[in-house]
Structure 1
Amino acid sequence: MPSVTAAQSRLNVTTSVISGHLTHLEDRLGMTLCHRGRAGFKLTEDGAAVYEACLGFTESVANFQHQLHYIKQLDSVHGGHIRLCLIDQMPKFFYDALRQRLANSYRNNPLIHFSIDVQSPESMLEKLLSNESDIGVGYFGSFPPLLTFQPAFIETQVVCCGREHRSFHEPNKLTFEELEQDHHWVKRGYITDVSINHIRPKILSATTYQMEATAQLILAGHHVGYLPRDLAMRYEEMGLMKILLPDEASYEVKHHWAYRENLHKHVADFFE
C-alpha cells in the first residue's frame, strides 16, 4: 500500500520532512492533496488532478529542453535555418537545379533546416526586407537597394486561351490588335502594365497573384492571360489550352535570386 514511509528510502529524507513538505504544498495550493496516516496514503480527487497536471508539466519541460537542444544545434557551425521563398510554377530546369542545391546543402550540412514558401514577388520582397525570409527567387518589378539581386534564369511568358475560348479553334485568324483590344485579360496583382511594355490589354477583368490561379481562369474559357511557357505547353499538350501569337505576344522575363547582403554562413553556403 502506498505510504509516506515507502517514499522515505527513495527520497532519502525522514517521514516528518516529507509530511512537512506535503503540508506546505497543500497550504500553498489551498487544497488537500492526500490522506496520510495509520490508514495509509491515498490521493484525494484534487490530489490526483494535481498529479496529472504535474506529469503534463514535466513532459512539457522535457519537450522544451529537446527543442532548445535542437535550436542550439541549428545555430552551431553545422546547422542553421534557411527560409526560402519561391514564386509558383517555375520551369522544370529550375526545379532540377534547386533540388540539386538542396541535396548539396543536406550532404554538406545534415543538420540544416529549410522552410520553403510560395509567395508573390511583392510579398517576397516584403518578407526579405522585414527579415522574415532569407532567400527569394522570382521576377521583380522593383529592386530595393537594401537587397542584393543575382541573375537566376530567363523565362518565356506566352499568351494562352482555354478550350472554351472563341480563339481556341482559329488562332491563326487572330491579330495582335484583336488580342489586345477585344479579349478579356487576367491581370497579375503583383505586376504593373508597364512591365509588359509591348502589349496594352484594354479589358482587364480578373486579377490573380499566382500562376496556377491564372491558369484556372484561362481554362474556364472567358479570359486570356500570360503563363510561363513550360506550364502553358503542358496544358496545350493535354488539349486544354492554346498558345496565341507566340512570335508577337510572347516576352522574356529575367528571374533573380534576392537576399540581404549580410548573409549567415549557412545561407551563403547555399549559393556555392
Structure 2
Amino acid sequence: MKISGADLHLLSVFDSVVRNGGFSAAQAELGLSQPTISNHITALETRLGVILCQRGRRGFQLTDKGRQVHEIAVDLLRRIDQHSISLTALKGSLVGQLKIAVVDCVASDPALKLTEAVHRLNDEAPGIRIEIEVEKQGGILRRLAEGDIHAGIGSFDNKIKGLSYANLYEESHSLYCGRAHPLFSTPDGDITQQDMDRCVWVHRGYWSRERKKSQQVIEADRIVDQIEAQLLFVLSGDYIGLLPDHAADAYVVSGRLRKLPPHEDNFDCMMQLVHRSGPHPKTFQIFRETLVGLYRSRTSGRGGAVART
C-alpha cells in the first residue's frame, strides 16, 4: 500500500495509544477525546485490513498483528522525523525534537546543569522542541538502544556496547532515618555499624547487588525502584536507607530526617550523560556541547575535565 499523510496521522495516534497503554491514557498526549481516538484506530484497522488491538473490560491488549504494525510505525515515524530535521538543517535553521530521559529525583541537585543547558538552548535555538522524561536506569539504556530518545542522564553501573558515556558530576549517598526511628535521637557516638546493620533497610533494587558491601538484604527489608518511594519509606520512621544527600537535605533541615554516622555502604556515584555512539543530528550536538561545556567551565579552574568513556 502507498502511505498517505492521513495514514501517518493514524499511525501516530496508534503509537501514542500503545505507549500510553490505552485509549483513555493517551487522551492528554493527543488532545483528543476517547471516542475520537477509538474512531482513529478503527479507521487504521479498516485501512490495513487487520485487527490491531482488543479493547473492553479486560483492558487494552495488542494483537500479534498490532505488535508488528506498531514496530513498523515506530520505525517509520522516527525515520520521517530524522529526515525532516536533515531537510530543515539545509537552510541553516536549528529545529527539531530533542528527547532527554533522566533518572528520578535529580531536580533538587544543584550540581545538575541540565536546566541551565535547556535555558541556553531555548535562548539560542528556539526552534528546538525539548522533551524531558523521568525513566529508570534500565529504561534509559533500552530506549537509547531502540533510538526512542536522544540522551539520558543518570548513573549506570552497566556499560552497553554502542553507547557513549560522558562523566558530569558525582552524587553522594548517605544513610538516613526518619524522625520516628529509634536511632533518630541516639547520639552519633552511641551508634555502631552493627546498630545500623540490625535495622530494617529500604534498598533500591537496581543497586542492591552491586553497591552493598556489608548489609545483606533480609525478608523484612523493602526494595523499590525509585528514590521518591525510598524516601517515603525512610520518612515513615520504620526503615533506614541510603539517599542522595541533595534529596535529603531539606528534610534534615525541617527535622523530618536525620543523617546517620558514616556507614561503610555510603557511596558516591558518577552521574553521566549517555547517548548512542556515532553521528547525531545538529540539534543533539548543540545540546551535548552546551551541557558538557557547563561542566568543563566549572572544572577547568581546578584542572579537571569531563571524562568520556
Alignment partner for residue 122 of structure 2, among 102, 106, 113? 106
Give the equivalent residue in structure 2 for 1:32. Answer: none
Q: Which runs of 5+ in 2 are unaligned?
A: 1-80, 290-309
Alignment partner for residue 261 of structure 1, among 257, 268, 277? 277
CA offsets, 1:155-185, max 9 Å, x none?
11011110111111104222112212x1111
Equivalent-residue separation in structure 2 for 1:232 and 1:201 (angstroms): 23
Equivalent-residue separation in structure 1 for 2:216 and 2:260 (angstroms): 14
Alignment partner for residue 200 of structure 1, among 215, 221, 244? 215
Alignment partner for residue 209 of structure 1, among 183, 202, 225? 225
Alpha-carbon deviation of 1:192?
A: 3.4
Equivalent-residue separation in structure 2 for 1:179 and 1:100 (angstroms): 39
> 1:176 touches 1:249 (CA, 8 Å); kept in 2?
no
Q: TM-score w.r.t. structure 2 length?
A: 0.60
1:220 matches 2:236: yes
Amino acid at match of 1:188: R
Alignment of 1:1-272 (within 5 A): 76-77=88-89, 78-90=94-106, 91-95=108-112, 97-172=113-188, 173-180=190-197, 182-197=198-213, 199-203=214-218, 205-246=221-262, 248-262=264-278, 263-272=280-289
Q: Secondary structure at the match of 1:203?
A: coil
Amino acid at match of 1:155: E
Taking structure 1 as reference, are residues 251 and 171 closer, same or farther at Cα in structure 2, changes over 3 Å only? farther
> 2:175 touches 2:263 (CA, 8 Å); kept in 1?
no
> 1:188 touches 1:209 (CA, 8 Å); kept in 2?
yes
Equivalent-residue separation in structure 2 for 1:177 and 1:221 (angstroms): 18
Amino acid at match of 2:215: R
Q: Secondary structure at the match of 2:114?
A: helix
Q: Secondary structure at the match of 1:271?
A: helix
> 2:175 touches 2:241 (CA, 8 Å); kept in 1?
yes
- Larger Rg belongs to: 1
Equivalent-residue separation in structure 1 for 2:215 and 2:281 (angstroms): 43
Task: Give the superposed CA RMSD.
Answer: 2.4
How many residues in Structure 1 have an aligned counterpart in Structure 2? 202
Taking structure 1 as reference, are residues 250 and 195 closer, same or farther at Cα in structure 2, changes over 3 Å only? closer
Equivalent-residue separation in structure 1 for 2:271 and 2:134 (angstroms): 15
Alpha-carbon deviation of 1:108?
A: 2.1
Alpha-carbon deviation of 1:102?
A: 0.6
Taking structure 1 as reference, are residues 187 and 92 closer, same or farther at Cα in structure 2, changes over 3 Å only? closer
Consecutive aligned runs of 4 or more in structure 1 exceeding 4 Å deviation: 71-75
Equivalent-residue separation in structure 2 for 1:171 and 1:271 (angstroms): 46
Alpha-carbon deviation of 1:210?
A: 1.3
> 2:155 touches 2:271 (CA, 8 Å); kept in 1?
yes
Task: Quote the sequence identity (%).
Answer: 23
Amino acid at match of 1:265: K
Which one has a larger percent strand, Structure 1 or Structure 2?
1
CA offsets, 1:27-74, max 9 Å, x none?
xxxxxxxxxxxxxxxxxxxxxxxxxxxxxxxxxxxxxxxxxxxx7875
Equivalent-residue separation in structure 2 for 1:171 and 1:87 (angstroms): 34
Alpha-carbon deviation of 1:195?
A: 2.1
> 2:109 touches 2:247 (CA, 8 Å); kept in 1?
no
Amino acid at match of 2:183: S
